[in-house]
Copies of this chain bind each other. A is one copy, B any other.
Amino acid sequence: MARTPERDGGASARRAAARPRRRPTIQDLAQAAGISPSTASRALSGNGYVAAEVRARVIAAAEQIGYVPDGNARSLRSRTSRAVGVLISDIRNPFYANLAAGIEEQLRSAGYHVIVVNNDGQPEAEVEGARTFMAVRVSAAIITPVSNRAVRMLMNDGVAVVQADRMVDGATSDGVLVDNVQGAQEITGHLVGLGHTAIALLIDETDWTTGAGRLAGYRAALRSAGLPMDPALVVPTRFQPEAARSAVNALLDRRPDVTALFAANNMLAEGAFQALRLRGLRVPEDLSLVAFDDVPWMSMVSPGITTVDQHTDQLGRTCAQLVVDRLEGPATEAATVRYIEPSVVVRGSTGPPRTLLPASAEGPASTVSRRTVTPGPRRRPTR
């Protein structure tokens, strides 16, 4: 059963509270190695000349006495920092979680560490987070912005900023974006190719580059197919799944001619999926459903949801790489924006529109594994 701390008595439990022992400083290290502090510093940091033999001795001594350089003192003196701030909306959302994971892994392997702040989509919390980053003197910050204030504050403060997933007006920084237009266009095109003509778009915002791009891609696909652009099929909703559920219900009550539904992100897809199920609609026989952003539940449900994979891990890693380039590379003048090429993942939630279906046709059996269509080139450097 549970290993309880009582097991080992009070001796080490007492250590939990008190913290008396002074940490060894570089002075102690220098003394232990029989050299001066500055030589010890050079030996450990690798800056400046140190005899190989001496370096080895210092490293051994450091190991011996358990010396760990004080990052605060080091930052203070050297005016640099290995800390990078990550300011995201909601780490519970798998999109942000994967983004953060990609960032963290890449930065960790480059010798940086990450300070994570959730802002819950609140501009005030975002500014508060930026203030925290300034206080701890991060050298860079990666932000999925909700307003331009935090980005501006940080850039004014000399922090290297990378906007992730979306970019806001009035703040020019590096950025990594998904090609929302292409992803949306491609998946809408998939529906068009199946014969759909009344395709609704469920979307919560069109002010950010994400929503605007997805709407544009949706429209472009319809346009290039010569389909009518019915404004009533662009269904606004709030971000919560419950809101999306209501919006879908209202839409289907109003427009029984709709044969396909495109949910602009994973939250809306969740609500849409629930709405369809609660109405007892069969997917894809009665209605096809597609989404933007691939999250785990979409491949667990039957049929699986056809969606746009944003390669969120890669998005995160690319942000991290941009940070490292900016911090360690030459002092390039221009802000750079990279694009991630999304790809459509076709699962069982899409099929021909119902009017084209033979009376008693069965949908394709869904599979657990994903079939990716048009893997294509994964990355487009800049644009």
Nearest chain B residue, comparing its CB with the CB of A102: B92
Closest Cβ–Cβ distance, residue A154 to chain B (whole Å): 11
Q: Is the CB of B92 within 8 A of A101?
A: yes
Instruction: Render A115-146 as a binary contact track against B, CB cut-off 8 A, 1 for contact.
Output: 11110000000000001101111000000000
Q: Is the CB of B100 within 8 A of A116?
A: yes
Closest Cβ–Cβ distance, residue A44 to chain B (whole Å): 11
Q: Is the CB of B337 within 8 A of A4?
A: yes
Q: A5-B173, A91-B91, A115-B115 are in contact. Are A19 and B297 (CB under 8 A)?
A: no
The stretch of A45-53, A286-294, A328-336, A372-380 that contacts the partner chain: A328-336
Closest 3 CB pairs of A and B: A19-B158, A297-B297, A297-B300
Closest Cβ–Cβ distance, residue A130 to chain B (whole Å): 10
Note all chain B residues with C-beta closer than 8 A to A1. 181, 209, 212-213, 216
A-B contact pairs, 26 of them (CB 8 A): A1-B181, A2-B213, A3-B209, A5-B337, A10-B333, A13-B172, A13-B334, A16-B160, A16-B161, A16-B333, A16-B334, A17-B326, A17-B332, A19-B158, A21-B158, A72-B81, A72-B137, A90-B101, A92-B94, A100-B116, A101-B118, A270-B300, A274-B368, A277-B368, A278-B368, A297-B300
Q: Which A residues fall within an 8 A CB radius of B?
A: 1-5, 7-8, 10, 12-21, 23, 68-73, 75-76, 81, 83, 90-92, 94, 97-98, 100-101, 104-105, 108, 113-118, 131-132, 134-137, 155-161, 167-175, 177, 180-181, 209, 212-213, 216, 270, 273-274, 277-278, 295-297, 300-302, 326, 331-335, 337, 368
Closest Cβ–Cβ distance, residue A215 to chain B (whole Å): 9
Closest Cβ–Cβ distance, residue A131 to chain B (whole Å): 7
Q: A72-B136, A172-B13 are in contact. Are A91 and B100 (CB under 8 A)?
A: yes
Closest Cβ–Cβ distance, residue A220 to chain B (whole Å): 10
Provide the main secondary structure of the chain A interface.
mixed
Note all chain B residues with C-beta closer than 8 A to A134. 68
Number of copies of this chain that the complex holds? 2
Q: Is the CB of A113 within 8 A of B117?
A: yes
Given contact pairs A8-B172, A10-B333, enumerate 12 new A-B contacts (beta carbons under 8 Å): A3-B168, A13-B172, A13-B334, A15-B172, A16-B155, A16-B174, A68-B134, A70-B137, A91-B91, A270-B300, A273-B300, A297-B300
Q: Is the CB of B13 within 8 A of A335?
A: yes
Q: A91-B91, A104-B117, A302-B277 are in contact. Are A209 and B331 (CB under 8 A)?
A: no
Note all chain B residues with C-beta closer than 8 A to A172. 5, 7-8, 12-13, 15-16
Closest Cβ–Cβ distance, residue A338 to chain B (whole Å): 12
CA distance A91 to B90 in the complex (A): 12
Nearest chain B residue, comparing its CB with the CB of A111: B132
When the two chains form the complex, which single residue of B16, B104, B301, B333 contacts A335, counting CB atoms closer than 8 Å?
Answer: B16
Q: Is the CB of B278 within 8 A of A83?
A: no
Q: Is the CB of B331 within 8 A of A17?
A: yes
Closest Cβ–Cβ distance, residue A147 to chain B (whole Å): 13
Closest Cβ–Cβ distance, residue A115 to chain B (whole Å): 5
Nearest chain B residue, comparing its CB with the CB of A16: B335
CA distance A360 to B158 in the complex (A): 70
Note all chain B residues with C-beta closer than 8 A to A334. 10, 13, 16
Nearest chain B residue, comparing its CB with the CB of A2: B209
CA distance A155 to B5 in the complex (A): 14
Closest Cβ–Cβ distance, residue A113 to chain B (whole Å): 5
CA distance A115 to B175 in the complex (A): 23
